[in-house]
Amino acid sequence: MFILYAIVLAVYRLYFSPLSKFPGPKFTAASGWFEFYHDVVKRGQFVYAVAEMHNQYGPIVRINPWEISVRDPSFYNTLYVAGSVRRTEIFKQLRDGIGIDGSHAVAEDHDFHRMRRKPLDPFFSRQQVQRYEEMIVEEIKIIEDRLKEHRDTRTVVTMDYVFTAMTGDLIGKICLVDPPSFAGEPDFSPDCFFALIALYTNFTFLVGWARHIPRKVLFRLIPFAARYRALSDLTDTCIKKAKARGVNKEASNSHSVSLIEHLLASNIPESEKTTDRLVGEFISILSAGTMTTARTLVTITYYACAYPEVGEKLREAVTEVMANYPDSVPRWSDLEKIPYLAACVKEGLRLSPGTLRRVVRCSPDVALQYKEWEIPKNVPTSMSAYMSHSDPAVYPEPATFNPERWMGEYDPQMDRNFIPFSKGSRSCLGMNLAYAELYLGLAIMFRPDAPKLTLYDTDESDVYPKLDLFIVAPKVDSRGVRVTVG
Ligand code: HEM
């Protein structure tokens, strides 16, 4: 019976579905197993299979029974639009059960997403992030002091943990009341790092269930999900603490209040203030705000250490502006004007964007037009930073970390292809925060009198994007970017 059903379904998908006219291999159009095989069995490899389909079939391809992928930057501003242009929805199936139910990031309906995102936006505006600069510098000082403890000891430090602890502590302070400090923990709390890896593993549906399985059973059955459970327990505790402390409506409008206090004091419906829903919301913001920026910092750090000319140029570029540090700390807006520093930030984001994975959007009200192709309304349609950022016609030798490509006059197509934070109404909430962390982090860590980092048993394969685990990850058996401190 099942076999008959599968055959009828495959025939429908191949010959009668509204997508049957789109180019692409028949076997991917007939069933989702090809994607499952590449993403789950082979771990995060479907992104490369999609790129291969485009090589073979052209800029528009049906990549599974229900989704269209486009590889053409000229379509980007049609697919990813502001809320005022038209309604945009996500493809819910891809986000279900990843342990962030309740978050704006999994709100399918356009208006519901807008309602949830609206009170968050001001917290991460450029103006507000400029107010966080002191806090950002404090966090960087903490990790620098911790690194100095290892000076000349030959202790090996994993920079992935260092930057995850730094970005995690910072977003924790912005969001929560009395969050724990990861940067102060021995070895920079690899548990924080692994909890987030657990959240983003490709077995995400298991991670989602982890909130509901009794702890003892969970720890035995799925150790990686147990780490995620620790993260969700921690978030739960911080939210309950904020609720117990009570909310001062006047103070909640000041610029120094945490996001949780601000939300609890705001006029959002009471149903939006339940602990369960807020845990999902904050796990999504904490995790999105941690691994992404940390990975970009790790990537740039690796290249600056592995290629002395990159490290030297970076040091030289920030020498003047950092001359009186720590007595005088430059502003993020001043650092943005330093061409080589800006070029390193861009090149880091190009090689290590937030996600390699295609970013899927649905247009619930109108069909979308791509050249002669009409994509029916509500059909999941995607593009990917990986494909844009690795186009050799736009970025020659795309696998090479080459900040110089962004210096002086360069092909404007490079900016058009550059989409690390996505665009439109569902683009990255934390883009400004990420930029401020990257600029300040690199200027402080690579100023001439900063602790000198020397790579230890680390090569490019420990940092170069290989796996699409929703976040970008290097090869499976990487031990991270490891350094000694001098
Ligand atoms: C280098 C750093 C970062 C990169 C490259 C990055 C990239 C992205 C991308 C591409 C998306 C769109 C994903 C999608 O639509 O499927 C996204 C969404 C998001 N990002 Fe970031 N991100 C970074 C840092 C941050 C930070 C620091 C925060 C902290 C607030 C953050 C919070 C979020 C949230 C909450 C979303 C979901 C937005 C929504 O659905 O409305 N990100 N990010």
Q: What domains does the chain contain, in order, with CATH numbers?
A: 117-357+388-485 (1.10.630.10)
User: What is the CA(148)–ligand 1 centre distance, in A?
Assistant: 31
Q: Which protein residues touch ligand 1 with a CB less than 6 Å away?
A: 104-105, 117, 124, 171, 284-285, 288-289, 292-293, 296, 349, 353-355, 359, 420-422, 426-430, 433-434
Residue from 63, 43, 44 nearest 468 by CA: 44
Which amino acids are annotated as binding site for heme, given as ranges? 428
Secondary structure of 265-300 as H, E, C letters: HCCCCHHHHCHHHHHHHHHHHHHHCCHHHHHHHHHH
Taking only the tens of pLDDT, the chain with its 486 residues reads 888 998 999 999 999 999 999 999 999 999 988 988 888 788 889 999 999 999 999 999 999 999 999 999 999 999 999 999 999 999 987 776 666 888 999 999 999 999 999 999 999 999 999 999 999 999 999 999 999 999 989 899 999 999 999 999 999 999 998 888 888 887 887 777 766 666 665 455 555 565 566 666 766 666 666 667 778 888 899 999 988 887 776 666 666 789 999 999 888 999 999 999 999 999 999 989 998 999 999 999 999 999 999 999 999 999 999 999 999 999 999 999 999 999 999 999 999 988 888 999 999 999 999 999 999 999 999 999 999 999 999 999 999 999 999 999 999 999 999 999 999 999 999 999 999 999 999 999 999 999 999 999 999 999 999 988 878 889 888 999 999 999
- Quickly list DSSP for 187-253: GG-HHHHHHHHHHHSS-HHHHHHTTTS-HHHHHHH-HHHHHHHHHHHHHHHHHHHHHHH---TTGGG
Q: Is the pTM of this model over 0.85?
A: yes
Spatial contact of 29 and 62, defined as CB atoms under 8 Å apart: yes
From the CA of 355, give the closest atom in ligand 1.
10
